[in-house]
């Protein structure tokens, strides 16, 4: 389970780091709080952080539930793919929002596998 724990901590660190990038972009592009619109580059960083926040609960819940029923090493490997996908998403979205699909896919596909694995494990446990 240590690998699952590590992936969990890395996901939280990653999200915190994305928040730092938003703060830096807010200062760089002069977007004063509480505004969430203004300079397009600020908005790109902000959307990366918000999209990550939108996916994080599903990812973390699925990660931990799947790890209860399947190999924690394989579950952690899927979790690592999510983390890589979020980094690809960050760089592609900031460069050109139209190119964000690959990063999104790299992060959402493992999340869906984790969710399916968690659901299958729970159902199998309940029905047996």
pLDDT tens for residues 101-127? 999 999 999 999 999 999 999 999 999
Domain that holds residue 28: 2-123
Closest CA to 52 of 6, 3, 104: 104
Alpha carbon distance 24, 73 (integer Å): 35
Query: In this model, does residue 128 exceed pLDDT 90?
Result: no
Distant-in-sequence, close-in-space partners of 98: CB < 8 Å, separation ≥ 6: none
pLDDT, tens digit, 9 for 90 and up, residues 19-74: 999 999 999 999 999 999 999 999 999 999 999 999 999 999 999 999 999 999 99
User: How many Å apart are CA 52 and CA 78, to the nearest integer?
Assistant: 16
Q: What is the DSSP letter of 71?
A: -
In a domain, 100, yes or no: yes
Indicate whether 68 belongs to any domain.
yes
Percentages of the chain per state (helix, strand, coil), in multiples of 5: 85, 0, 15
Instruction: Measure the CA–CA gap between 7 and 67, rounded to whole angstroms.
Output: 12
| DSSP code per residue over 16-35 | HHHHHHHHHHHHHTT--TT-
Q: Could you tell me the CATH number of the domain that includes residue 40?
A: 1.20.120.550
pLDDT given for residue 65 in this prediction: 98
Q: Is residue 88 part of a domain?
A: yes
Any domain includes 79: yes
128 located within any domain: no
* Dist. CA 108–CA 95, nearest whole Å: 20
Domain count for the chain: 1
pTM above 0.75, yes or no: yes
The pLDDT score that the predictor gives to residue 83 is 98
């Amino acid at each position: 389970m240590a690998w699952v724990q590590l992936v969990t901590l890395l996901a939280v660190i990653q999200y915190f780091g994305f928040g730092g990038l938003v703060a830096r972009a807010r200062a760089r592009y002069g977007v004063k709080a509480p505004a969430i619109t203004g300079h397009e580059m600020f908005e790109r960083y902000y959307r990366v952080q918000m999209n990550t926040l939108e996916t994080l609960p599903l990812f973390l819940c699925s990660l931990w539930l799947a790890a209860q029923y399947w190999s924690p090493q394989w579950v952690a490997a899927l979790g690592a793919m999510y983390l890589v996908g979020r980094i690809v998403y960050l760089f592609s979205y900031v460069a050109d929002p139209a190119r964000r699909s690959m990063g999104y896919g790299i992060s959402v596909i493992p999340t869906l596998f984790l969710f399916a694995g968690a659901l299958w494990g729970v159902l199998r446990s309940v029905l047996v």
